[in-house]
Amino acid sequence: MKKVFVMGGTGFVGARVCAQLLQQGWQVTVPTRKAPPAPPAAGVALLELDVHDEAALTRALRGHDALVNLVAILHGTQALFEHVHVRLVEKLARACFAAGVRQVVHVSAIGANAQQPLSAPSMYLRSKGQGEAALLRAAGLSDPSAFELTILRPSVIFGAQDKFLNVFASLQKALPVMPLAGASAKFQPIWVEDVASAVLRSLAREPAAATRAPLILQACGPDVFTLRELVQLAGRLSGVRGGRGRPVIALPNWLARLQATLMELLPGEPVMSRDNLDSMKLDNVATGALPGLETLGIQATALPAIACAYLGVKQAV
């Protein structure tokens, strides 16, 4: 039985990746900073580990055939983004070499640019691009122990446990109107099960042994929505105001930045940070410059029918 090490396997996407891996007969190890009361999927081996400790990471990786990296943060300082999205990725690349792991699937984000990472508009995207660049350098080495690399760049991901449509639905249950930053930003949402399938098919791909060329794929759904449309859809599907949702008020940039600054001051994860606003300066959609999930034989699933099933109201849209 093949063994895979899923970093970030306790998260939203990680739980579905683990579930699909187990179904396909993989043996799955998930390192975590603090073990949750239950594993992300029954059958996963949870391992409390400081993944930033390279020696410990290398030891833990021994005996694994593949590594999937889903570790990421959405908010933080420049230093924290670099710590998690760049330094950790450099460490895991070295650890894979040292431990003999032959396949790496790295989940990045649409808008990351490995060629010119610093051209991206936000700390999140710049650090994601730098992390990709580090992996591409490692995978491109003409060393026989170099690993085969697939990088997936998803747009926003939806699914029963998402913190996206679920948050917009909850806010509309609590607020009389929806003041919205970045209302005209475009997204091409992808279902979490399609992302998980893409991870599995990346692990199954048989590259030409002579080239072992890294593959970078944009992971986007079939439809493009503005953020305003997605918020309205979340309101409708969750039955707010008899299925009409709350009125959405698009905030001008200066007010959006003020709102984000205030949200960053509140305890807990902000719903929107200034860095998130910066990320939305780029549309979160496939550019056409890179292949999509069809390369892996995946037809991405449309959002409304799936979101309808978990947001609450079972009705056609």
Ligand X SMILES: NC(=O)c1ccc[n+]([C@@H]2O[C@H](COP(=O)([O-])OP(=O)(O)OC[C@H]3O[C@@H](n4cnc5c(N)ncnc54)[C@H](OP(=O)(O)O)[C@@H]3O)[C@@H](O)[C@H]2O)c1
Binding site for ligand X (CB under 6 A): 8, 10-14, 32-33, 51, 70-73, 84, 107, 109, 154, 156-157, 164
Cβ closest to ligand X, residue 11 vs residue 182: 11
Which is nearest to 56 in space by CA: 45, 48, 66, 46? 48
Residue 74 Cβ vs ligand X, minimum distance, rounded to whole Å: 7
Cβ closest to ligand X, residue 154 vs residue 239: 154
Cβ closest to ligand X, residue 70 vs residue 306: 70
Report the C-alpha gap between 228 and 168 in whole angstroms.
10
Residue 152 Cβ vs ligand X, minimum distance, rounded to whole Å: 8
* C-alpha separations of 277 from 212, 214, 254 in Å: 37, 31, 11
Report the C-alpha gap between 316 and 110 in whole angstroms.
30
Residue 254 Cβ vs ligand X, minimum distance, rounded to whole Å: 27
Report the C-alpha gap between 282 and 295 in whole angstroms.
24
Which is nearest to 287 in space by CA: 129, 100, 155? 155
Residue 288 Cβ vs ligand X, minimum distance, rounded to whole Å: 18
Cβ closest to ligand X, residue 10 vs residue 113: 10
Cβ closest to ligand X, residue 31 vs residue 239: 31
In the block, tokens 């059958």 appear at 43
Q: What is the DSSP letter of 308?
A: H
* Calculated CA dihedral for residues 276, 12, 271, 118, nearest 10 degrees: -10
Cβ closest to ligand X, residue 70 vs residue 239: 70
Q: How many other β-carbons are positioned within 10 Å of the β-carbon of residue 224?
A: 16
Residue 12 Cβ vs ligand X, minimum distance, rounded to whole Å: 4
Residue 283 Cβ vs ligand X, minimum distance, rounded to whole Å: 14
Residue in the shown chain whose Cβ atom is closest to ligand X? 11
**8 A C-beta contact, residue 188 and residue 297:** no
